[in-house]
Amino acid sequence: MPTTEHKPIWVAGKPVKTEPLELKNPVTGETLAAISQAGPVHIEQATAAMSEALSHGRRWTSVDRQRCCERVLRFVMKYQEKFIKTIVAEAAKPVAAAIVETQRAITTLELSLQESTRIGGVQMPVDIDAAHRDYYAVVERVAVGPCLFITPFNFPLNLVIHKIGPAMACGCPFILKPSERTPLTALLLGEALAEAELPEGFWSVLPCSRQHIASMVADDRIALMSFTGSAKVGWELKAQAGHKAVVLELGGNAAVIVEPDVDLEDAADRITAGVFGYAGQSCISVQRIMLEKGIAAEFTGVLVRKTQALKAGDLLDSQTQIGPMIDEVAALRIEKWVADAVEQGANVLCGGRRRGAFYEPTLLTQVPENSPLVGEEAFGPVAVIQHYSTLQEAIKLSNASRYGLQAGIFTRDLVKAREAFELLAVGAVVINDVPTTRSDALPYGGVKDSGIGYEGVHFAVEHLTRYKTMLTRTVPVPKSSK
């Protein structure tokens, strides 16, 4: 979809064209579009308008919020094909994966629409002591205030909607700062927001350079910042955020445990997809595969066979399973990590070669524990195979990571499944599937360096709202005078 179109940013709901920056297709190098860039003036305008819009948002009824979510949902459904092609072009995502992301985004919007009518409160009894016998109280959840949402490149539609959908559902004005690598999808979504009849000044979509993010993060007019991205950047932003609430969805180093009582073909199918889907560029991609020693040799053979059978090719071909990484710099990093591991004694079972931004699906064994392939987030098409004797040893290996987002275990033994759930230091444990599995309705968040807070529409709304109490004294009826 190469074009010379000059795309505007959205400032307080209005399209604004500024000095453009060329956006390149990461595969072909062709210019996709010229993207306007927000500067300090636009950021100030957006922040001031958002602060002003908060009072309107708080007077927004449930049906108002519901209708706005519904309009955005209808837009995304109507233009699904355009969203899919945009994701493929700017994120180098195979079309089959882009279709899945777009369908998930529709589900996330449907959840937001449903949640918009469920944000209520409770009547609390306060006549529990004599001093308050004449009082009653109502506790409601209200919008926390203006929000800043910063999103990554790897899911440029669904991860954006995981932030703005709950914000619309509960009436929080917002600025969306999309990844500099994938702004087109967010700007297309801006067209949906423009048709949604949100309160004036309620929203902005501001592609901008990293140097301008700091001013937004530090601005006290913003009540909450939600960031999805690398752990290093996330914790740095939290340190700059002052007193505002912060939600961080950061990195992962996902492990999957395979017990000997499972269907090896089924487990290998799921793990292959969990490692190499979208070139491993997901924070819950499988990075560490833990095999019980009795099945390790057989299972490894099955896994290598399935990995080597993965189909590369044209990203617009629905049969293509693997594509390039987001850029050559990312592929070079994986190439170096693998080369360093091999130098220290690791064995490459398959893959291990790079062509430009494309890195072959790679499996390794005997990787030293100090390798970043074991301890850091690879965020690429590579996984490490480790062996264990007991489930307790596998759990210990899984927990030996500074990350704790999701983990998986394949087993038919309910006792072992429960033990894994209780002892794995992660936000979610997936039984009989890979940790790459995520339902958009469930709470999604990790422990340790994987972040703080949760996504998943209902749980995001809890962060985006706060309790507010109305305490009322029952006044005596005045005596009539004669």
Which residues participate in catalysis according to the annotation?
249, 283
3-state SS class at 103: helix
Tokens of 87: 């994701």
Which helix H or strand E contains 14, and what residues bound it?
strand 14-16
Residue with tokens 């899945």: 100
**Cα–Cα separations (whole angstroms), residue 432 to 97, 256, 266, 335, 360:** 22, 10, 9, 31, 27
Sign of CA dihedral 225, 227, 233, 234: positive
* Phi, psi for residue 66 in degrees, rounded to 5: -60, -45
Exposure string (b/e) for 452-470, b if CB count within 10 Å is 16 or more?
A: bbbbbbbbbbbbbbeeeee
Pairing of strands 147-150, 224-228: parallel
Neighbouring-strand partners of residue 365: 347, 385
Residues 6+ apart with CB under 8 A from 129: none
Residue 455 DSSP one-character state: B
Q: In what side-by-side order are the strands of the sheet with 147-150? A: 14-16, 9-11, 203-205, 174-177, 147-150, 224-228, 245-249, 451-452
Q: Which alpha helices (H) appear in 171-327, and where do they start and end?
A: 183-194, 213-218, 231-240, 264-276, 293-308
Which helix H or strand E contains 165, and what residues bound it?
helix 158-170
Tokens of 38: 């927000």
What does the DSSP assignment read for 51-92? HHHHHHHHT--HHHHHHHHHHHHHHHHHTHHHHHHHHHHHH-
Please name which of 466, 457, 109, 450 lies closest in space to residue 251, comparing C-alpha atoms.
Answer: 450
Q: Which amino acid would we find at residue 12?
A: A
